Amino acid sequence: MPLAPGTVRDSIVEFLSAIGKDASIDEILTAVSSQLGHTPPSSIRSYLTLNTPKIFERTGRGRYKLNGNGHKSAIEICRSKPGSDHRTVGKGIIYHADSFAWMANQPENSIEAIVTDPPYGLIEFNDTETAKLRAGKGGVWRIPPSFDGHQRAPLPRFTVLNDSDRKNLHRFFLRFGVQLTRILVPGANVLVASNPLLSHIVAGALTEGGLELRGYISRQVMTMRGGDRPKNAHEEFDGVSVMPRSQWEPWVMLRKLPEGRIQDNLRKYRTGGFRRVSAERPFGDLILSHPTPSAERKLAPHPSLKPQAFMRQLTRAVLPLGKGKILDPFMGAGSTIAAANAVDYESVGVEIDRKYFDIACEAIPLLGDLHTKTPD
């Protein structure tokens, strides 16, 4: 089917906006072809020449970047994408939308904190992989063997990511960082769920996007990743694990730079620190946790659902004065929004998948009302 007029141009604009710098024609061609399918190099060249200097600037031989008008069109392209339905659930508002389009429509300095668990690998929640997961057909999803009578939740296989996936991941988080830096108030905390294989890419790209890295929060939890013996040589090397059985989940911790002294930032924006657990006890960066209980997974059937006991500790801590709005731009079934309701904070969630959005509408009030126990 022929592409609608302007599709190739918009794809070039989106790519250059995502990387935030100039790129060669070859790099642009690879990015556009991975989004739209095979695109002839001549077509890329003619779009670039036709729109220079209107939206592109030539920075060297065969290299281009966006100029001021180009950045404006990147935001316009994002705004024109569908972003529709929204609901109120307790003190939270949730949107069925693409969060990049949603964020492009938000005013500057309008959000006080981010707590989110983004799509890693970037492919595990695309239409094809979601369909495979729902059909129980695997794909990037690994269904761990059930043992001791318990059915295990599917896990995405991040070890299958190749160089190009990792570059896309970097591009995705750079774009995310640039958008966040615009909509967050100074001093706002950003907590991003990650895993030990990819957290360095996430931290690097978000920092390039304008945020400041402040460290990591370690969720101590036994995951199903690692611990396996060498494939097809289990018996020969029965004393070897290819990688350790993972027992923690890193959450990348960043912030938008505060304005001046922390006390001034706290007064002006209500951000610039973490809320203490009690007057005697500061919030700590090691949190004992457990896998998401099956009762919660039944209420909110999402493959990456985070447990309420843990999410409530995080959400409570990210607003130092308990005031402001927490955004989860990759809401899934709504564990962040439910946790924010449980600690009586305002929140906003955005989810692109209609089915998960519908699950979140029903699950958030139920998860938010659950009594949970925190491991000692």
Ligand X SMILES: C[S@@+](CC[C@H](N)C(=O)[O-])C[C@H]1O[C@@H](n2cnc3c(N)ncnc32)[C@H](O)[C@@H]1O
Q: Which is nearer to ligand X, 70 or 154 (CB)?
A: 154
Residue at token pair 């962040």:
336
Q: Which is nearer to ligand X, 233 or 295 (CB)?
A: 295
Among 73, 181, 194, 304, binds ligand X (CB under 6 A): 304
CB of 353 to ligand X, least distance (A): 4
Q: Which residues pair with 212 in a beta bridge?
A: 255
Binding of ligand X by 14 (CB under 6 A) = no
Question: Using CB under 6 A, which residues numbered 349 to 368 contact ligand X?
Answer: 350-353, 356
The three-point CA angle 261-266-271 to 5° equals 110
- Segment contacting ligand X (CB under 6 A): 2-10, 51-59, 142-150, 301-309? 301-309
CB of 206 to ligand X, least distance (A): 16
348 close to 92: Cβ distance less than 8 angstroms: yes
Q: Is 26 exposed, middle or buried (0-12, 13-18, 19+ CB in 10 A)?
A: exposed
DSSP 8-state symbol, 281? -
DSSP-derived 3-state class of residue 169? helix
What string marks each residue from 313 to 342 as x (binds ligand X by CB under 6 A) or -?
A: -----------------x-xx-x-------
- Segment contacting ligand X (CB under 6 A): 10-18, 39-47, 50-58, 96-104? 96-104
- Segment contacting ligand X (CB under 6 A): 27-35, 94-102, 162-170, 263-271? 94-102
Q: Which of 86, 89, 88 lies closest to 342, judged by CA?
A: 89
Q: Which is nearer to ligand X, 66 or 101 (CB)?
A: 101
List b or e across 197-218, with b for residues whose CB sees 16 or more CB atoms inside 10 angstroms.
bbbebbbbbbbbbbbeeeebbb
Q: Which is nearer to ligand X, 73 or 130 (CB)?
A: 130
What string marks each residue from 108 to 147 as x (binds ligand X by CB under 6 A) or -?
A: ---------x-x-----x----------------------
Task: Report the interface residues with ligand X, using CB under 6 A.
Answer: 98-100, 117, 119, 125, 302, 304-306, 330, 332-333, 335, 350-353, 356
